[in-house]
Structure 1
Amino acid sequence: MVIEIVNSVVTVTSGVAAGVLFTHAVGVWPALRAMAPEQYVAAHKLLGRAYDPMMPIMVITSTALDVVLAVADAERRALCVLAAVALGGVSLVSQTRNVPINRRVKSLDTGPVPVDWQDPRRAWGNWNLVRTTLALIAFVANTAAMVAS
């Protein structure tokens, strides 16, 4: 019974992470990409206030629960390992690629961007697609593990 509850929780947390990243990739990101640089910087700062504390919590919680399940449930081990590795990839891409870009954007003053500003949107969007794909793989693996019982 405990394994089923943990599997349900990890399916929800990984689903939330995948859903937020997917929604951002298909809806929010195209809007940000279309904005003038000054608008983009302002919107990026506003969006980060909500995403920054919650997304790491969702991804780390999901990863930890998948590791617990991989150890505790031999029947679902392969799926849980796949999900944990994919979520580890989400964290790795986030911390080494997207977060440094976020910090650079947030460090800009509101108003006109510096003349020598190198727009990071293409790189940020590409890395976001990588982590979105990894999050979706984790969610599918967790869903498959949940129904495998």
Structure 2
Amino acid sequence: MVTLLGVAVLVGSGVVAGVLFAVALSVLPALFAMPADRYVYTHKLIGRNWDPTMPVIVLSCVAIDVALAVVATSGTVWFAAAAAALLGVSVVSHFCNVPINRRVKSQDPAGIPAGWRDPRPVWRRWHLLRTGLALFALFANAFAVATG
């Protein structure tokens, strides 16, 4: 059972890290290159399918990491660290990125006001934090599984 859970947490944390890394590497630069109206329109399209998919994957990995930290005979500190990092991904997403996403989605692309405050720089900072946390979690899970 520990082996199966280890594979599951590696796949899950790999998906989380991969998605967030791809957004940081390719999607964010593209969004920054767009004028505000195209950014808002594109943001609405891109963000459609993240919820509830990513939160389910992230929180499932947290639960699996916690279980492994309790039942595994080795790597428990690494599984616990991965759980904490993935919980950090969830917290940053829920309390920082998601509120910004809601504001952007409520904006009419055709009616961007003159004094519109561009959320992209702040959103990027939070996104890079959660990407770093996700990459750390993947490393911690890989190390725990490989050394277990």
> Does the pair score TM above 0.5?
yes
TM-score bracket for the superposition, by shorter chain length:
over 0.9
Aligned to 2:66: 67
Give the drift of 1:115: 2.1
Runs of 4+ in 1 over 6 A off after TM superposition: none
User: 1:119 is aligned with what amino acid?
Assistant: D
Map 1:125-140; keep pairs closer than 5 Å: 125-140=124-139
SS of match in other structure, 2:51: helix
C-alpha distance after superposition, 1:2-28 (max 9, x if no partner): 000001000000000000000000101
C-alpha distance after superposition, 1:40-61 (max 9, x if no partner): 0011000111222211111111
Give the drift of 1:109: 1.5
Give the drift of 1:148: 1.2
Aligned to 1:10: 9
**Are the aligned partners of 2:92 and 2:130 in contact in 1 as well (CA < 8 Å)?**
yes
SS of match in other structure, 2:75: helix
SS of match in other structure, 1:111: helix
Aligned to 2:18: 19
Question: Matched residues in 2 for 1:80 and 1:74: separation?
Answer: 11
Structure 2, unaligned stretches of length 5 or more?
Answer: none
SS of match in other structure, 1:56: helix
SS of match in other structure, 1:75: coil
Question: Matched residues in 2 for 1:91 and 1:116: separation?
Answer: 31
Q: TM-score, normalised by structure 2?
A: 0.97
Question: Matched residues in 1 for 2:51 and 2:120: separation?
Answer: 18
Q: TM-score, normalised by structure 1?
A: 0.96
Give the drift of 1:75: 1.1
**How many equivalent pairs are there?**
148
Tell me whether 1:44 sits opposite 2:46 in the alignment. Answer: no
User: 2:6 is aligned with what amino acid?
Assistant: N
User: 2:36 is aligned with what amino acid?
Assistant: P
Give the drift of 1:116: 2.6
Percent identity between matched residues is 49
Aligned to 1:28: 27
User: 1:18 is aligned with what amino acid?
Assistant: A
User: 1:78 is aligned with what amino acid?
Assistant: V
Give the drift of 1:82: 0.5
